[in-house]
Amino acid sequence: MKLQHSFLSVCILTFIAGCDSNDSPASEEVNKDTTEPEITLSTLAANRSIYSSTYSINGTVIDNQEVTSLQLKVNDLTKNVTFNGGDFDVSFVLTPGLNNYELIALDAAGNGASMTDSIYFGQQVAAGGAHSGAIIDGQIWTWGRNNLGQTGVGFTSKLNTDENHPTTPQKIEVLDNEELVTFTSLAFNQNASIALDNEGDVWAWGDGDGGQLGLGDQDSVVLDVDYYTPQKINALKDIVSITRGYDHTVALDKNGQVFTFGENDKGQLGNSSNEDADYPQLVTLTNIVLITAASDSTYAIDSDGILWGWGENDNGQLGQGSDDTNDYNTPVQIPLLEKVISVAAGKAHVLALGESGKVYGWGLNASNQIGNTVEDTWPDEIYEAVELPWITQAKAVWANGNQSFVEKSDQLIYPWGFNGTGTLGLESDQDPISPTVAIAELNNVQDIAPGALHTIALRKDRSIFSWGWSFEGSLGIKEPINIWGYTVPQKVEFNQ
Amino acid sequence: MKSKLYLLLNILLVGCGGSDGASDSVVDNTLVLGATGGVATVEYQENNGFLQFIPDLDIQEYNGASQGRELFIATWGPAPGARDLLDGYGPLAITDSCANCHESSSRAESLKSDGSTGNGILFRLRDIEGNVDSMLGAQLQTYSADGVPEGSVSWSEGSSNEILFHLNDNVNALDEGIVLAPRLSPQLIGMGLLDLVPESVILEYQDVNDTDMNGIFGRANQQQQCIGRFGWKAIHCSLDGQIVGALQQDMGLTSTLNPAEPCSDNQGICNIYPSGGDPEVSDKSVQDINDFLTILAVPERRINKQETFLAGRALFNSTGCNACHRETLSTGEVERFPILSNQTFYPYTDLLLHNMGPELSDGAKESGAEADEWRTPPLWGLGLIEGDGKSRFLHDGRALTIEQAILWHGGESESAKETYSQLTNDEKDALLAFLRAI
């Protein structure tokens, strides 16, 4: 992608042509290099969400004479970028939330060019079993199912019986020491919710079963209390990323360490135990940059692009070449043919995005959520990573339940897998066996949150759309048809 | 983004010099037609042709169309139902879902081969003066919550190939003079465009006194304080009116605009069964359905051979078909869907009432339209359903093909029909090819 560049500090070297001066040779002025370098990036993030704490950019920088320096400015840090034959490839660490970065190139004559871009580290929208959320201007908005207080509005409620049930988005203002908290990321799954604030603190609410809210003490009693408003997890700090399985929670700190809590019957906490934990457990991995979770298994990518997994392998979701009922309560490496830059997990299937843009899948394939051929040659369970032949140059992958989503290079969202409740946003009742039809008109997507049966999407224009299973107000729309599948995305209205 | 192929297909290039079909002299070789539905034109998809959204409409601008789609395809149930939003069906009705009568790629079955009638046709109950049946009201409802519907209708073919309808299973005989007045259900494409045509544009073609002496009158149905444009008799002025009329009469659902159940004063059943709310369909739901229907796009033309299409169009005009089947209409400024503002489109209707002669008269005056007066139906999309095994044409479904429909024309259109009949076979083929392409 070729990007527009702009002049930088050209005034420093400005000389005015034709200024009637006789005191310098005219030829020198005529031959003076005034052409600025040209920076080209392979991808422009444009505020989109990613879930890795590091981000890599690559591209080219050229000049009619010679580029003398290329610098990257990100989050008030400046680093020199090496370039080889004009090509550059550089990684940098993100801070949770919006990261603005700038590339600055100079040539020998002092001509400068710069370009800016931004990327969001974290999940700006969230979808659980049947509740949903979004972060708007640092504040949490939620709606949907609230039988266990998972929306965080301060009470439990039901759609048909409670007038104040959060059918449409409600703003959840959280105070910490009487200060309004600003949030950067959300992770909902099933009936519990967590949020990350800009101080690195994590807040939890909703279903407390199995200690998944992480609000307990370091004792033998597992706190399984439900909370109806966000509660700060005091045992965590300096967190940069959060995610949830069905009944467990995962957090990544700025040092690349992974913490887990909640149900542990399958070893999904990765702490060499099978006991539930209401207090964060340290996983024996280092230099982790991205975390995600399936129902009862957990995944982490390290800074070398190696993927690790632990927990349940009943459907081959750990990609070890077989399925078994063992509880993998310590991390195992998942063999892949290339470095992984992102991973998404559904109930029991996994999609890994390689640095080449190829996508690999394994685990449960009962709804063709990994994929299938028209001859139905792909099995219901896939035990090791297979390259998905329908995808090249993928930008991002998402998954939950038995459904999958990929953003292809045309920047449209292609879903596949289970579609019985309108989950995929397609005008069809069929389960697509591969990602070949895009969700109509859903372009410029910045973040997607697949819930159990419904989906939330955020677009570049900051509009938010929902589709799929409407249950207890999960879609955030007025007068929803309850217990109903919506196939066409519709805009969620926020009454600011 | 959908394909822009239609733009290419719809640009009819200069200098075709066709030799088949009509004589070259009537072919306007400089002709350039716009897209069938203006910006609301879409590449035709076989399985879902009538349920495609406007391709260039940003998802941000769908308004309530997503909800409207679900309300349209949903099966509604009697009150109280599990879903408040979808209850209130009946107690008298014809069917429990909009989609039962308006299908995604065809017309719903009307005249079944076993002699019964299907969801694709309903029956008004009127006499020549416009009176309704004192017991059954203005429309026959074939479903009743108490298991005793107003009746059912079978059909047979008359000696002149006309369709005869027979009322069966009815407890009450119809009042004297009241007839079964059949109304075939149309495919729903371009409804939003037709809704958005300013009344002044419709009146441009009105010629109540035939001042131009061409035998074509054209009369706007102005029985209300507005100009009727929807329905076989142009009895509804707006898409909202059409929607709430169908909700009430076909599904037994009340709305703010039509607050009563479809019972006559002599039918007590509507007082017995519980209501699904007051009204049963909220204003928002009506708007949502309207939004959904408004953003349904018109399929692009399907032109096999350009020269033939051009020749057919020239014949369509020279035979006088275009005197009623007005080629283009245009929308005004549209606030809710700005993309639909000032669109010129090609429905081939003037939205006016015309006397179609005694053979097409159904003996029932309805809401300002005489028994032999019919609103010119749009012709777009007819080629997509002709010969599909169940779609039929004209108000009572007597025509199985487009040509049969032409040959049933009478009254003001008698002359055009006669001219058509005198065309050579090649010319007829060209004209029919044109009609199938639009």
Asked, colleague to colleague, whether A6-120 and A122-491 share their fold, the answer is: no
What one-character DSSP code corresponds to residue B201?
A: H
Query: Do A489 and B53 count as a contact with CB atoms less than 8 A apart?
Result: no
Q: In chain A, whose CA is at the least distance from the CA of B55? A: A441
Tens digit of each residue's pLDDT (9 = 90 or more) over B51-74: 899 999 999 999 999 999 999 999
Domain A122-491 falls in which CATH fold? Methylamine Dehydrogenase; Chain H (2.130.10)
Residue-wise pLDDT tens digits, B94-110: 999 999 999 999 999 99
Q: Which of B101, B52, B40, B45 is nearest to B73 (CA)?
A: B101
Please report the pLDDT score of residue A454 as a whole number: 98
Average pLDDT on B254-266 reads 97
What distance in Å separates the CA atoms of residue B339 and residue B345, rounded to the nearest whole number?
Answer: 13
The secondary structure of residue B205, as a DSSP letter, is T
Which residues in chain A have their CB less than 8 angstroms from residue B282's CB? Answer: 479
Q: pTM for the complete prediction? A: 0.90
Q: With contact defined as beta carbons under 8 Å apart, do B322 and B430 qualify?
A: no
Residue pair B297/B37 in contact by the 8 Å Cβ criterion: yes
Instruction: Specify the pLDDT at position A30.
Output: 60
Residue A70: is it exposed, middle or buried by C-beta count within 10 angstroms (0-12/13-18/19+)?
Answer: buried
**Subunit contact A441:B57, Cβ cutoff 8 A:** yes
Say if A425 is an interface residue toward chain B (CB within 8 Å). no
Q: A386 has which bridge partners?
A: A361
- Confidence tier at B402 by pLDDT (50, 70, 90): very high
Beta bridge partners of residue A301, listed in sequence order: A290, A307
| Pairing state between β B298-299 and B41-42 | parallel
Given a cut of 50, the residues of chain A with pLDDT beneath it are 1-24
Q: How many CB pairs under 8 A join A and B?
A: 61
CA–CA distance from B28 to each of A160, A231, A455, B18 (Å)? Answer: 64, 76, 53, 11
A108's tokens: 């020998």
Q: Where is average pLDDT lowest: A14-23, A460-469, B36-45, B215-224?
A: A14-23
Nearest CA-CA partner of A371 in A412, A417, A338, A406 = A417
Distance from CA of A490 to the nearest CA of B (A): 6
CA distance A482 to chain B (A): 6
Q: Which residues contact B67 (CB under 8 A, 6 or more apart)?
A: A477, A479, A481, A486, A490, B285, B288, B292
CA distance A90 to A88: 7
8 Å CB contact of B284 and A477: no
Using CB atoms, which residue from B48, B69, B82 is nearest to A488?
Answer: B69
Task: Tell me how far apart the alpha carbons of residues A179 and B231 are, in angstroms, rounded to a whole number.
Answer: 62
Predicted pLDDT at B48: 80
Which amino acid makes up residue B31? L
Quote the pLDDT of residue A6: 40
**B70 to A484: CB separation less than 8 angstroms, yes or no:** yes
Under an 8 A CB cutoff, do B284 and A478 touch? yes
Q: Report the C-alpha gap between B280 and B252 in whole angstroms.
A: 9
Give CA–CA dist A233/A216, Å, rounded.
Answer: 9
Contact A481 B83 (CB under 8 A): yes
Return d(Cα B343, Cα A63) in angstroms, integer: 48
A441 min Cα distance to partner chain B (Å): 6
> In this structure, what DSSP letter does residue B402 have?
H
Q: How far is CA B25 from the centre of its chain?
A: 35
d(CA B134, CA B146) in angstroms, rounded, equals 20
If we measure between CA atoms, which residue out of A84, A86, A8, A71 comes closest to residue A40? Answer: A86
Domain boundaries, chain B: 5-60+301-437, 65-186+238-294
Q: What is the mean pLDDT of residues B255-280?
A: 96
Residues A387, B162: Cα–Cα separation, whole Å? 63
Angle at A214 between CA A192 and CA A185, to 5 degrees: 60
Which one of 2.60.40.420, 2.60.40.10, 1.10.3720.10, 2.40.160.10 gives the CATH number of domain A6-120?
A: 2.60.40.10
Nearest to B66 among A443, A463, A486 (CB): A486
Q: What's the confidence (pLDDT) of residue B46?
A: 83
Contact yes or no for B52/A480 (Cβ under 8 A): no
Between A160, A442, A488, which is nearest B65 by CB?
A488
Encode B76-113: b = buried (16+ Cβ within 10 Å), e = exposed: bbbbeeebbbbbbbbbbbbbbbbbbbbbbbbbbbbbee
Q: Do A481 and B285 touch (CB under 8 A)?
A: no
- E strand or H helix at B430: helix B425-437
Q: Of A273, A335, A264, which Cα lies nearest the Cα of A297? A: A264
Are A479 and B85 a contacting pair at CB < 8 A? yes
Q: Region B332-343: what's the mean pLDDT? A: 97
A489 C-beta neighbours (distance < 10 Å), count: 26
A 427-486 → B contacts, CB under 8 A: 427, 440-443, 459, 461, 463, 465, 467, 477-484, 486
Q: Give A82-140 as a DSSP string.
A: -EETTEEEEEEEPPSEEEEEEEEEEETT--EEEEEEEEEES-SEEE-SSEEEEEETTEE
A355–B contact, CB cutoff 8 A: no
CB B193 within 8 A of CB B340: yes
User: Tokens 């009487």 map to which residue?
Assistant: A178
- Cβ contact, residue pair A481, B71, below 8 Å: yes
Report, as an integer, the average pLDDT of B228-235: 98
How many residues can be counted in chain B? 438
Report residue B308: phi and psi, to 5°.
-65, -40
pLDDT of residue B26: 52
Cis peptide before B78 (omega within 30 of 0): no
Distance CA A17, CA A21 (A): 9
Dump pLDDT digits (tens) for A3-38. Answer: 444 433 333 333 333 334 444 455 555 678 999 999
pLDDT at B13: 33
CA-to-CA separations, B174 to A149, A458, B126, B362, in angstroms, rounded = 60, 59, 10, 16
CA distance A493 to chain B (A): 11
Q: Distance between the two ends of chain B, CA-based, in angstroms?
A: 23
Whether pLDDT at B317 is above 50: yes
Residue B244, helix vs strand vs coil: helix
Residue B292 near residue B65, CB atoms below 8 Å? yes
pLDDT at residue B207 greater than cutoff 60 = yes
For residue B194, is pLDDT > 80? Answer: yes
Interface test with B, best of A421, A426, A479, A487 (most B CBs within 10 A): A479
Q: Tokens for A43?
A: 């991808």
Compare all CA atoms of chain B with the CA of A428 and give the residue at the minimum distance: B48
Please give the Cα distance from B174 to B266 (Å, whole number): 13
Q: Give the pLDDT of residue B18.
A: 35
**Residue of A468, A106, A348, A249 whose CA lies nearest to B66:** A468
End-to-end CA distance of chain A: 36
Long-range contacts (CB closer than 8 Å, 24 or more residues apart) made by A382-386:
A382/A316, A383/A316, A383/A319, A383/A320, A383/A321, A383/A322, A383/A323, A384/A316, A384/A319, A384/A320, A384/A321, A384/A335, A385/A319, A385/A334, A385/A335, A385/A336, A385/A337, A385/A352, A385/A360, A385/A361, A386/A360, A386/A361, A386/A362
Sequence ranges of the domains in chain A: 6-120, 122-491
- pLDDT confidence of residue B7: 37
Task: State the residue for tokens 């190696």.
Answer: A306
Q: Which two tokens stand for residue A111?
A: 């001509």
Ranking A60-64, A145-149, B35-39, B158-162 by mean pLDDT, the lowest is B158-162
Give the CATH number of domain B5-60+301-437: 1.10.760
Q: Which residues are registered as beta bridge partners of A359?
A: A353
How far, in Å, CA of A331 to CA of A360, rounded? 19
Asked if B352 and B234 count as a contact pair (C-beta separation under 8 A), the reply is yes
Are B409 and B417 in contact by the 8 Å Cβ rule? The answer is yes
Which positions in chain B have a beta carbon within 8 angstroms of at least one beta carbon in chain A?
A: 1, 48, 51, 53, 57-60, 62, 64-67, 69-71, 74, 82-86, 282, 284-285
Residue B211 CA to residue B207 CA, distance in Å, equals 7
Q: Please tell me whether residue A409 adopts helix, strand or coil conformation.
A: coil
Across-strand partners of B354? Answer: B374
pLDDT at A9: 36
Residue B71: closest C-alpha in chain A: A481
Say what the pLDDT of residue B47 is. 80
The residue in chain A having the minimum alpha-carbon distance to the alpha carbon of residue B283 is A479
